[in-house]
Chain A
């Protein structure tokens, strides 16, 4: 055996990727359910996705507070009892609020699901948003925010969104301490009434599903006044900042700067999106990328540097993000632009392109491990109003996009003057 020679491999691009189909049904009230029944472990997850994100709020912070406080008291149960009812069975009930959607999810051993559905139903029909609970929420959220505002990377993440979308756009607006102060139980109750009690939602269930899951879901959620979503969203215009370059001092004791370089980018429905995913991988999408190779592995300026496309529904942004030593921030930015220039001027070599293709396909193969991961892929497709064609076309682009096309895309998008540039230190 010659250890200097790599063993033969099967190129990952020769793999046939299959995304396991979901079961689909609708509850009596028209709410759609997507189900993946798979997995060796006796566990499952239910996610109820409401169109109740911050796109729908008239004042910053209401959507997130309402979502959070679903677990802080109903007519029948105090906050403590709600927690106890999940935790006794070793189950996790979590909430999350995004731009368009707000989610209530439960993860549990499958055998306990019947005990938990009534509690979820209770939260979705009889939440009361007690004022003393809201005061605790406000106090703790403000404290959390104060600690985070001292972190350069947190501030940089907020500011760059601000420049990209404008302060009045849900993608670009950041809640401030004053916004949290202003919240009232009345605001929350109104929001709950409109966007949960009478809201639009979809349900995703995955894992080892018990027999009769369909009837169970219908019994607990099929009679509620919720309805299926229309996928149309309020039209809020972005207003990107006119100025492009920012240096912001946040912490006089900082030893590193948080760097963000970003430009607005269309959403997944744009024909370039799937192609740019590949170009992004070459640039900074994984550990073997050009940015990582140059700025971490060659120069040692940073612990890590990545580029990515933001996961928004209506529009996206292409972002490069890193934390680098304070004295090498400007040098880091210069190197980022040099890497863009190389991609604009020289076609990506065969070996590198094959590596990136194989890596990306291998990633997807690995990502499809288990029912939760499969559902995560579907959820993304469905919430973006796409279908499985999108998945297969994306895979096809990874396998076939040419070096020439990638170079054209680099020339179209990787132009330094298109990018916002920010250092927070």
Chain B
């Protein structure tokens, strides 16, 4: 920032930011000639620190730090740190993208050290409880950071085209590796250790991405799309078999699946057509109430039982029809008005559900919804019973999980076909510039209504399954917050992409289950994440290519247009 004073002198105002920048430049200038020694020292210090004791003996901790940190040795947090240090050996090579990779690893190591430092000092009696390990670890990872900062900027690494077998192997390794990482992570009991693990995994994935792994993976997926989907499906089906009959995570993932399906539906509305729907959860709830009322639940008000195979289309249709009826008059509104009106609709749904006690039993809700039972000609399969397959006990929740997979597959298919069609292009045109789209002869009202209706229908279908998983329905589960949660799943994962919506739902529903001590802070962190995301990566974790260009105009922002390689074709 600069101003010109009365005498016409130009003054540079020194802000905190400028001080930080000049400090960084000074460090970089001093360290550049010694880049390799600094790197070596960083790796050695970090690695050594992970072998040393981290806590003074005899100190008891309030947090579960997993394992005895006062002994020398390796385990938990320190293992992840060691791995990051070893990965940093990549810094000695001169491949493209090594700077960003090293940066990611160094930041990961620093965050783990800092976090452990905090846990040790706050949970076990101040700095006195901290042994030599963390100090060395912090110094080591700081050196790594300096080494990364002195590495020359280079373009992202581009992999040579792989032979067919290489592409296929890459897909299998990547998907299988992610599944393995997930299973290992879920097995970690201590929360603090899980946090270190997540940080390490995040840093490692970011490093792999800067080395071009994701671009190569994307290319492989583009070439062998069917095979890719098949591998993903296989991994999804394999997941319950890794849980050894343990129901905890199957219950969570059954919910994740339903929400993921609903999030994909919302993605049609928000991501493709650009209509911000803040009352989306109402359609989810309408499907839920239809299913609850037609299931002959214990606390039902209507004593009918309709087979579930019929209930899904009925719930979907009810939600879709109401969506169209509501959308027809309101979709003429401009974007932000629409957001508020849909929010109002969501609240209207909830208030009616609370007060229309004759049908919904009001705030008490309808409890005792029976498990789904398929008709006899489909084997009379009972979703409420555990099954044993290949000698592995599958708790009953996995039945719903498998049903979710079927639903998600169907929703993905619908999404992909729509996205690639004339309709999808029409939506994108509307999203970019509605006036121009109309001028080009697109029937904007009809297309918007279609998007809204399809979104509502998909939500309704997901809602019917959801109440069977939860075995009860009550209006206050369908508050604005639930809509905001779904919306953030879409935004976090990446607007306009299927994988993004699934990833977002998994992160937002699954992570809080693992990080229980953050329960209190959950909503606050969620709000903060939305703000930061919109500020720094508005296209989401897995961005659609088109969307990314929209947020980062290559003419204005040449650096951003290089892409991170995590894009999905629009």
Instruction: Please determine whether chains A and B interact with each other in the same assembly.
Output: no
Interface residues of B (CB under 8 A from A): none
